[in-house]
Structure formats: C-alpha cells, structure tokens
Amino acid sequence: MSPDRRAVEAETVTRLQDLIRFDTTNPPGNELPAALYLKTALEEEGIATTLLEPVANRAALIGRIRGTGASRPVILLAHMDVVGVERASWSCDPFAGEIRDGYVYGRGAIDDKGMLAANLMTMLLLQRELKHTGAKLSRDVVFVATSDEEAGGEWGMGWLIEHHADLLDAEFALNEGGRTRIIEGGQTYLAVQAAEKISHVVAVTAHGSAGHAAIPLEDNAIFRLARALEKLSRYAEPVLLTSITRQFFGRLAEVWPNAEERAAMLELASSEKASVERGAAVLSRTAVFNAVLRNGISAVIVEGGTRYNVIPASAGAVLNVRTLPGQSIDEVVARLRTVVDEPNVTVEITQRGAEAPASDPDSAMFEAIAKTARELNPKIAVVPYLSTGVTDSARLRRIGVQAYGVLPFPMQQSDEERMHGHDERVPVESLHFGTRLIHGTIEKIAR
Ligand SMILES: [Zn+2]
C-alpha cells in the first residue's frame, strides 16, 4: 500500500472516531458542535462553508467546491444525529469510537456517521487533487450535513428545504438508504435506493355498547375490534411490480446463492403473468422481499378499556400502511374496509404520507455508482432498489433532485442489523471501500 493511501485511510478512521465522539443522540440532537467540527475540517482545506442554525444548538452545515457550472450540482448528504443507546447492552462506550478486531465501534458507525466521514473525506480529497492538478470540476459538489433525521427531519432537511432550498439546487444527490451486502458464498451486491415506500397511519376503531362487565354484550367493542384485526391479519395486498423492483430481482439473481429463490427472481423479472405469480409466491415467504412486492400493512398499536369490570364503548388499533410509489392510500383503505366488513367498525386515514417520484435507475449518476463499485469489486452486482424505510431522499426527490441511497460499507446482514441496535460497528476495511466508492462516484459525475 502506498504511503499516501495509508495516510488517507488513517485520516478516515480518525475522522469517524472524532464524529462518533460528539454525542448527537436525538432527541435532543445537539448537532452544532459536530457541525463546527465539519466546518473547520472543510475550511482548513480551503472549502467554503455555510453554517445554519435552525434552532438553539442544532445546525445544518453546507460545504461547496465550485465547478465550472457546465452541469448542475451534485449533493453529498448525511445526517449528524443518531438514535439513543441502551448503554448497559453495549460492550464498549458507544461514544468513544473504539477500534477492536478490525471494527470501529460506536453509535452512528453505520448510521450515519460512517457516511458522514466518507463524504467529508471525499470533499477533502477532491479539493487536494484540484489544488494539485489545477483542474476544474464540471459541476459544484455540495456537502450537506443535517440534523434531526432520526426524529422526522423537521429541524433538518424539512427546515433546510423550507428556508434554503436555493442551496440544495442539484441534479443528483447521494444519501443513505441502500446497502452493500455480503451474502452467502462471499458474493456482494450493492442495492442503490432509487425510490421508497410511503408511510401512512390508519386507525381501526370499533364501537359498541358500554356497560357493566357482569352482563356480557353481543356488540362488545373489543371483540369486534378483535374480529376486524383477525381478518386483516390474513389479508395481503396484491403483488405489484414497479420497474425498479423488476430490475432489482432480475439483477440480484446474478449473485443469489439459493437456487429456488434465484429462479423465482428471474420469473419475477419476466413479463409473463404466470411466471410473475410463481416467482412472487416463492419470494413472498421472505419478509424483506414480500415488503417490496406489495403495499404493506402492520398493526402497531392497540388500545381500549379502562378497568376490569367495565365494557368500554370503543376500542381501537393503529395500522402503519406503506404504499408503493404511485399507489393510492384511499384505494388501499377502501379495500381494507371491505376486508373488515364488521358493523360499527371504521377504518380511517389519520396521517397521510407525501408522494415522491422515483429517481431514474438508468441515469449518469446511477452509472457512475455502478462503474465505481465494479472497479472496486469486479464481481459485485449493482441493483436499483425500492426501500421500505423512509429517508430524507424523498424530500429531495419532491424538489426535483434525483437522489440515490447507499450504505457504501460491505457488510454481512448481522452487522447491518446492529443499526439502531447494540454494539453498532463498521469494519475498517469496509469504511475504506465506502470512502473509495463515494470518492470515485463523485470524480466520475463531476469530471
Ligand atoms: Zn440514518
């Protein structure tokens, strides 16, 4: 390894450790000190920054390397806040950035301070190269670090778009939201999120006569609710393939180790109805695949009753319904009402998610990501991906930015599952892979 590369890798690890050591647990967030750290790092390299403070001790930090303006800017986005920790369940201090067995440990190591560090390193490396060669980029590269992503983004991307949308004018953005997964047999696939499901809240409420529990009543609201939920538990929305899910399964089949599932993926990617149905039946058995094949319905809260000898007049449950892009929540709810078919049970939308368009899985940006990934690992499969989770990318897509989500660090599922869990960690080697992936992608798209 060249001394240069070794120095860059050491700096990357140190930057990540530094970022983990800012406790940005949200709530309350307290991201300002981390933003000031990023500001200093960028400015020391000669990169112009803008620090915005939406509310006390919270911040958005923007850094910009100017290009010639031949093309519209590209954004490198990451959030500074992290979710809370249950310290007793960690084997180390979650805010120390400890290195052990080839991993950097700490809250945020993979969500999202790893990417924040990789984005920062990309900015520093680009600026150093430009200084060295005197070359110019074809477009601005805009570093954006936000607050409050983990609590809905009201003081983060939401605020930024509302008050400073001009700073976010861009053709493309790279954000969290995908994955680089090492699967059985050592194969790796990179899922690049190009669209996401939309999250809605739906209330199921049963009404009945209130009364003394000593006199059982036929129209007991809790039993009514139970019957409604039992019917919903057996209901699944129809399979619906978007062009992104078709490509996702078609390309994933190239590396998928399980023969039956591989065949099912190819069937799903075909255009024959019978094949698609056969493929969907097999893949629906796996929860994560099932979730991208149809609108999803999860019961999340149930409430009703006050004491042991009173029949309540009502009982309710809350459903989280996640629709595929372009699907109408009103039509889903109309179907749920038909399924429930109980007297005095209502099904109502209480919170509607906002629709966002998909990013183009054949764009120059997607190609730049895929090409860089293959340079780093010739056998990697790069697949467009529709995520079931929600990220800041939906907000960017709504203002016309084609956002793509990655988690650029190759990991086994077991490591990825530590996200939001205990002993979150990133393999040091994967941190370097991810930094090279982002750096290489930006070099290509901003050349
Ligand atoms: Zn995140």
Distance between CA 161 and CA 227 in Å, rounded? 44
The distance of Cα 351 from the centroid of its chain, to the nearest Å, equals 20
**Cα 215 to middle of ligand 1, angstroms:** 52
Over residues 161-218, the pLDDT tens digits come to 999 999 999 999 999 999 999 998 889 999 999 999 999 999 999 999 999 999 999 9
| Distance of alpha carbon 385 from alpha carbon 379, whole angstroms | 19
User: Cα(82) to centroid of ligand 1, in Å?
Assistant: 7
Tell how far the Cα of 76 is from the centroid of ligand 1, in angstroms. Answer: 14
Residue 293: the pLDDT is 96
Which residues, at least 6 apart from 101, have a Cβ–Cβ distance to it below 8 Å?
Answer: none
Query: What spacing in Å lies between the alpha carbon of 395 and ligand 1's midpoint?
Result: 14
| pLDDT of 39 over the 90 cut | yes
Output the pLDDT for position 389: 87
| Residue 149 CA, ligand 1 centroid: distance in Å | 7
CA distances from 425 to 112, 210, 215, 373, 390 (A): 11, 53, 57, 22, 22
CA of 176 to the centre of ligand 1 (A): 6
Vertex 91: Cα angle to 86 and 20 (nearest 5): 70
Ligand 1 geometric centre to CA of 154 (Å): 15
- Residue type for 26, please? N
Is the separation of the CB atoms in 241 and 268 below 8 Å? yes
Show Cβ contacts of residue 309 under 8 Å, excluding neighbours closer than 6 positions: 212, 213, 214
**Kind of pairing, strands 172-175 and 402-405?**
parallel
| 309-346 confidence digits (pLDDT tens) | 999 999 999 999 999 998 999 999 999 999 999 999 99
Contact status, residue 74 vs residue 174, Cβ threshold 8 Å: yes
Distance from the alpha carbon of residue 175 to the mean position of ligand 1, in angstroms: 9
CA of 201 to the centre of ligand 1 (A): 21
Distance 364 CA to ligand 1 centre (A): 25
The residue written with tokens 């090279």 in the block is 436
**106 Cα–ligand 1 center, Å:** 14
Find the 405 Cα to ligand 1 centroid distance in Å.
Answer: 11
Say if residue 2's pLDDT is above 80: no
| Residue count of the chain | 447
Contact 8, 129 (CB under 8 A): no
What is the CA(209)–ligand 1 centre distance, in A? 46
Q: Is the pLDDT of residue 87 over 80?
A: yes
Per mean pLDDT, which range of 141-150, 183-192, 425-434 is the poorest?
Answer: 183-192
Q: Mean pLDDT throughout 370-381?
A: 97
DSSP code for 28: T
What mean pLDDT is predicted for residues 432-440?
98
